[in-house]
Structure 1
Amino acid sequence: MKPLALILATALLYGCAEKPAQQQAAAPQALPVTEIHTDTATTYQEYPASVEGAVNVEIRPQVSGTLDRVYADEGAFVKAGTPLFKINDNPYRQALNNAKASLHAAEGALSNAKLEVEKLTPLVQNKVVSDYQLKAAKAAQEIAQGNVEQARAQVGTAQINLGYTTIKAPVSGYIGRLLKKQGSLVGPADAQALTQLSDVHDVHVYFSLGENDFIGFKDHYAGNTLNDKIRHLPPVSLVMANQSVYARNGHIDMVDGQFDKTTGAITVRATFPNSEGLLRSGNTGKVRLSLKLNDVARVPQEATIEMQDKVFVFAVGDSNKVAKQPIIILGRSGSDYLVKDGVKNGQQIVLSGIDRLQEGTKIAPQKVADKSAAIAKN
């Protein structure tokens, strides 16, 4: 019996020693939590954009001929009225001289016709000649008058064509590539323009909104009509291709009248001041729109987990048990998600260590005020 009693005593002592160790192993994990508060926040959306000058003009010849002179250089700034190109004007100058000669001949014929009428008028009155001759003379005078007007119009046309041989800048702006050089034969039917002239004192930045974004655009901004909403829009920013932000803000001033059937998007235009000429036609970037949101919750991105295209947080419930809850994200502000739905004001969520949690796990919550410090610690 003694050996049996010794075995039972030993088992009893071992069981008593093991129970605290098991209780210690099953103790809830201490994790930092924070309380959710709703407030007002601003989020930003970015859309690919292209830059165009307020005025982009193709410079084309209006008469044919050989390019004698090229006055402007590529990339140069020119003022409206500045000569850019000179087409050989000899043929057009001779055409003007010929038109003037025809005008002089027509004017001489008109003078003769008037003299004939003046000569026949008293003779008809005295019944020396028949009335028919006077009528014929007056008809000839009207024909001569028409010939003078036609010749005068031809002179005007020749003068216009001669003026077209000097091609001037229609607006102030920057010269683009010079696609034709001195000595080239040019004409109005050429496939390529001589160059492009861009007025970039102000620039138009075009971007597109999908149908869902456009509906959100209309719903989030004040105003009864689309024009009212445009007038109340906050300034927009331009993010350049190197991710730097253009120094001056712009404003949205145009929304296209219809959606593109091919892309399902609608074009929106923002205008930016560019008095320094830092932006040029053809620049690309992104337009950044700000959106003010009311009664939204801020949730640190590190406190979320993504599964099957959904984002979840672990909310602390009764008995300090956690529950995985999906959240609806409106945007971002710094390192926080701006959440529309999924968490409530005053609710506690786990800040870090969520990769070790499962639904219904009991934790020992440690409330912290500095969320970033708690996340860095874990």
Structure 2
Amino acid sequence: MGLCLLVLAVACGKKDEQKQGAQQAPAAPKEYPVITVAAQPTDVYTDYPATMQGQQNVEIRPKIDGYIDHIYVDEGALVRKGQVLFRISAPQYEQEVRTAQASIKIAQADVNAAQMQVNKVKPLVEKDIISHYELESAEYTLQSRQAALAQAKATLANANTNLSYTKVVSPVDGVIGLLPLKLGSLVSPTTTTPLTTVANTGNVYAYFSLNEKQLLDFFRDVKGNTLQQRLATLPGVSLVLADGTVYSHKGRVETASGLISTETGSANFRATFPNPEGFLRSGSTGQVRVSSHIDNALLIPQKATYELQGKRLVYQVVEGNKVKSVEIQVRPTTDGKSFIVQQGLKAGDRVVTDGITALRDDVEIKPAAPQADSTATAADTTRK
């Protein structure tokens, strides 16, 4: 019996020793996906909300009093410069033309009669039959009649101009807007409502704004000593339409305000886009997409980062496969999956890409190859 108890005690002691040994043995490092940061050329872009206006947006107003007698166009119609849009009924201007024409005939007859008098008196003066005073008087009368004729011709020209205003023509190529006034409406030069508007959309202006920070980023890497020189070196910009599609023609940023508005804290820019098909319309909205190229961009997945007290950090793998938290400055991309590292990391550094919530500084890990989507995210061309 005693021998059995002794054997049992020895066996239990060995089990306790094995258990203690197992507890004292260090745990194997846990495996984490790790990528090596590499510099690569990358194209990025920034989208800015924009509103569009035609190259010209001309209000069509009457220049005379009268009634709208005929409307030759409809809303949304494409018109050419010089095309008749409206006809205004104003018989008084036709009468003024006829009156001016009659006045010219009278004035011309007076000129002829005065010229005949000069021709009659002149030889008599030369022969000293009558005094020189008579000739001077006849010549002054002729000059007066000639002035009256010139005035009558000016009156006719003015009457013809007013008569031409009865036909309202388009001053530019463009698209007809609303037609608020209908046939029979009484109009005058003082009418507050225009007959219509003609939007010249051969070129379309896209207006957009940049705040102070965006303005600094916008021009940081642009060459040139003056604002116009910098604008001239900018690459062509794209226009993202309201449905998310990209307009087929490239545009250029041509003008920029020299001041930042104290009310909005932003500066205004204008990009010009050709519109040969008339696809773009005044008043529509979109986004101006400004692209740029970065020769050596350091890309990391967004999920490899975390925020702490307003700072963005990553876990960098250092000597001995231990990790330490490193603060970084990043530029977000619009794909929602990756960041461009601007400060805090360099090419060749290794960072943990997944499972970082369980990590702490100085924890040893076992680096592993990342998932395919992580490597693709870091290698893909990104857009801001």
Q: Let me know the Cα RMSD of the aligned residues.
A: 2.9
Report the CA distance between 1:325 and its aligned residue. 1.7
Query: Does structure 1 residue 361 correspond to structure 2 residue 363?
Result: yes
Contact 1:61-1:188 within 8 A present in 2 as well: yes
Out of 312-321 and 37-46, give the one that drifted further: 312-321
Q: Which residues of 2 match residues 1-378 of structure 1 at below 5 A?
A: 13-14=15-16, 16-21=18-23, 23=25, 26-332=27-333, 334=335, 335-368=337-370, 370=372, 372=374
Change (3 A) 1:268 1:185: same
Contact 1:206-1:270 within 8 A present in 2 as well: yes
Opposite residue 73 of structure 1, the aligned amino acid is D
Partner SS state of residue 330, structure 1: strand
Out of 294-303 and 222-231, give the one that drifted further: 222-231
Change (3 A) 1:326 1:120: same
Opposite residue 233 of structure 1, the aligned amino acid is L
Contact 2:35-2:370 within 8 A present in 1 as well: yes
Partner SS state of residue 68, structure 2: strand
Opposite residue 45 of structure 2, the aligned amino acid is Y
CA deviation vs aligned residue, 1:205-252 (integer Å, no higher than 9, x gap): 222233333333333234455444434432221111222222332233
CA deviation vs aligned residue, 1:333-364 (integer Å, no higher than 9, x gap): 64221111111111110101112223333322
Inter-partner Cα distance in structure 2 for 1:136 and 1:370: 109
- Report what 2:381 is aligned to: none
Opposite residue 336 of structure 1, the aligned amino acid is S
Contact 1:43-1:333 within 8 A present in 2 as well: no
Change (3 A) 1:326 1:187: farther
Residues paired across the two proteins, number: 373
Inter-partner Cα distance in structure 2 for 1:204 and 1:104: 54
Change (3 A) 1:238 1:309: farther
Contact 2:257-2:269 within 8 A present in 1 as well: yes
- Structure 1, unmatched stretches of 5+, are none
Inter-partner Cα distance in structure 1 for 2:376 and 2:52: 44
Report the CA distance between 1:257 and its aligned residue. 5.0
Q: Percent identity?
A: 37
TM-score, with length taken from structure 2: 0.87
- Structure 2, unmatched stretches of 5+, are 378-384
Inter-partner Cα distance in structure 2 for 1:350 and 1:290: 30
Opposite residue 324 of structure 1, the aligned amino acid is S
Out of 327-336 and 103-112, give the one that drifted further: 327-336
Inter-partner Cα distance in structure 1 for 2:359 and 2:45: 32
Change (3 A) 1:33 1:277: same
Partner SS state of residue 146, structure 2: helix
Opposite residue 341 of structure 1, the aligned amino acid is Q
Change (3 A) 1:298 1:125: same
Inter-partner Cα distance in structure 2 for 1:371 and 1:77: 51
Change (3 A) 1:217 1:115: same
